[in-house]
Amino acid sequence: MPNFDPIPTGVHLTPLDARFREDPYPVLAELRERDPIHYDKVFKQFIFTRHDDVMAILRHSEMWSDPRKATPGTFSAEILGAGDDEPSMLLMDDPDHRRLRDLIKRSFTPRAVGRWRERARAVAERVIHGIEENEFDLMEKVAGPIPTVVIAEMLGIDPEMHERFKQWSDASVRGAFSPIQDPVDLAAAEEAQAELDAFFRGEIERRRRDTSDDLIGDLVAAEADGDRLSEDEIVSTCNLLLLAGNLTTTDLIGNGVKAFLDHPAELAKLRARPELLSNAVEEVLRYDSPVVNSGRIAHEDMEIGGVKIARGESLGVRLGAANRDPAVYPDPDRFDIEREDTHHQSFGGGRHFCLGAHLARLEAQETLSVLFARFSEMRASERGHVYAANPSFRGFEEFWVRADR
Ligand code: HEM
């Protein structure tokens, strides 16, 4: 185990740092061993890396998520609370959070999402069977397009608009998550966002006139205890679904293919025993989580693992560190699709547990299944890969592969 002296902190604990970006796990293991409840003086946040601490924080029923409640100067207040926008559902507390989640959640139950499996497979087949090259960037050709087309279909967007929709959503994601706030990117993102919002308003208007069996139709019709979503809430929910669902699922597919190409014996096993697919996707989520961190805010003075924490402090959890804690997982750095206990923290937990978890799983399962069936041989190409320098996500900007039919 390398000893990084001094203890890594600040930017060195994010994908903005080149070493962390390429392989965060030795850095996180070091932190978990030497300082499992670490106070990061740069970002003003407690950082938790042990599985049990991370799980307890995420599942805590009282802790806050709304950055406006955090102590000024802390990571939650300054970074998450920046901007004047109303916080998205991810950063809301009850009763507002529960109200919104209750209105939306029925569209995301395993049953509701299960209806999309065949469509997701058809999208994966169309995209993957359309690849003509033997060497290609997996992110551009496969992992990027599939989740955007699936969510566009779920929302009920006219296929003729899909290309335009993808351009808007790509531009808006680039603006929202870009660590380097390039003015040209930001301006393009704002313009794309304005067009996307106007487009969603038109779609909502259409659903008010004629009901339709799609996600925007569901949101328009959603009603719980006599309550309804306002137009602004539907627009912001559609945007959240785009942002929360596209990048993350794209990265899950990219990280999954990388894990299999790095472990050919596991790929051979999956090819021989397709019934392992669902466990394999859970193992990918555990082994290389697309979302790097989440967090909460201390709702009262408290003590965790002997460390005193004041009300309003920002509590950051490192999901990938929890997922490889040797106290919980035997041989945690091994990628093993037959692992018995593949539970993980990659979808967060408690009241904010990822609403799209079933959808993400289903898309990744169908994509990996179609991809490995289509290409009898696959390996990483000499053109290599580039990880994205994005503070919250772990995934590729580019990942070149060679594939034979
Ligand atoms: C591999 C893919 C995905 C990963 C790893 C992921 C991960 C996460 C995480 C870590 C959270 C925060 C949980 C917490 O703090 O406890 C979250 C929340 C959320 N995710 Fe996902 N997500 C993925 C895909 C999706 C998809 C496909 C959608 C929808 C289309 C989605 C919608 C949401 C929403 C709406 C929330 C906020 C829930 C709330 O605040 O109540 N996610 N996700």
Give residue 166's pLDDT band: very low, low, confident or very high (50, 70, 90).
Answer: confident
Per residue in 10-39, pLDDT (tens digit) is: 889 998 899 999 999 999 999 999 999 999
Ligand 1 centroid from CA 27, angstroms: 25
- The answer as to whether 208 is a domain residue is yes
Do residues 254 and 394 lie in contact, with contact meaning Cβ atoms separated by under 8 Å?
Answer: no
Do residues 226 and 102 lie in contact, with contact meaning Cβ atoms separated by under 8 Å?
Answer: no
Per residue in 314-325, pLDDT (tens digit) is: 999 999 999 999
Q: What is the mean pLDDT of the chain?
A: 91
Tell the residue nearest (CA) to atom 7 of ligand 1: 347
Tell whether ligand 1 has an atom less than 6 A from the beta carbon of residue 169. no
The b-or-e profile of 204-236 (16+ CB within 10 A means b, else e) is beebeeeeeebbbbbbbebeeeeeebeeebbbb
Q: Which of 258, 326, 328 is nearest to 288 (CA)?
A: 258
Based on its alpha-carbon atoms, the radius of gyration of the chain, rounded to whole angstroms, reads 21
Strand partners, 293: 318
pTM summary value: 0.94
Query: What angle is formed at CA 124 by the lines to CA 285 and CA 319, rounded to 5 degrees?
Result: 15
The percentage of the chain sitting over the pLDDT mark of 90, rounded to a whole number, equals 69
**Measured CA distances, 68 to 7, 88, 142 (Å):** 30, 12, 39
Which is the closest atom of ligand 1 to the Cα of 100?
41
Ligand 1 centroid from CA 148, angstroms: 15
Ligand 1 centroid from CA 287, angstroms: 18
- The answer as to whether 37 is a domain residue is yes
* Other beta carbons within 10 Å of 282: 19
Span 355-363, average pLDDT = 96
Look at 81-90, 109-118, 218-227, 240-249 and tell me which has the smallest mean pLDDT: 81-90
Is residue 236's pLDDT more than 80?
Answer: yes
Tell the residue nearest (CA) to atom 41 of ligand 1: 352
- The answer as to whether 1 is a domain residue is no
- pLDDT recorded at residue 293: 93
CA dihedral sign of residues 90, 94, 99, 104? positive
Tell whether ligand 1 has an atom less than 6 A from the beta carbon of residue 346. yes
CA terminus-to-terminus distance, the chain = 41
Tell the residue nearest (CA) to atom 37 of ligand 1: 90
Give residue 186's pLDDT band: very low, low, confident or very high (50, 70, 90).
Answer: confident
**Omega before 147 within 30 of 0, i.e. cis:** no
Structural tokens at position 302: 């408290």
Rounded to 5 degrees, φ, ψ at 97 are -65, -45
Residues 6+ apart with CB under 8 A from 404: 134, 375, 376, 377, 378
- The answer as to whether 5 is a domain residue is no
Number of H helices, E strands in the chain: 17, 11
Q: By residue range, what is the domain housing residue 371?
A: 10-404
Do residues 75 and 45 lie in contact, with contact meaning Cβ atoms separated by under 8 Å?
Answer: yes
Q: What is the largest CA-CA distance in the chain?
A: 64
User: Side chain identity at 13, as an amino acid letter?
Assistant: L
Ligand 1 centroid from CA 316, angstroms: 16
Q: Report DSSP state, residue 49.
A: -
Do residues 348 and 369 lie in contact, with contact meaning Cβ atoms separated by under 8 Å?
Answer: no
Please state at what angle helix 162-177 crosses helix 231-262, rounded to 10 degrees.
Answer: 80
Ligand 1 centroid from CA 108, angstroms: 11
Do residues 127 and 146 lie in contact, with contact meaning Cβ atoms separated by under 8 Å?
Answer: yes
- The answer as to whether 376 is a domain residue is yes
- The answer as to whether 340 is a domain residue is yes
Is residue 2's pLDDT more than 70?
Answer: no
Please tell me the total count of domains within the chain: 1
- pLDDT recorded at residue 307: 96
Tell the residue nearest (CA) to atom 13 of ligand 1: 348
Distance CA 76, CA 295 (A): 8
> Which CATH number goes with the domain that contains 245?
1.10.630.10
Per residue in 39-73, pLDDT (tens digit) is: 999 999 999 999 999 999 999 999 999 999 999 99
Query: What angle is formed at CA 248 by the lines to CA 353 and CA 30, rounded to 5 degrees?
Result: 80
Residues 6+ apart with CB under 8 A from 311: 71, 298, 299, 300, 301, 302
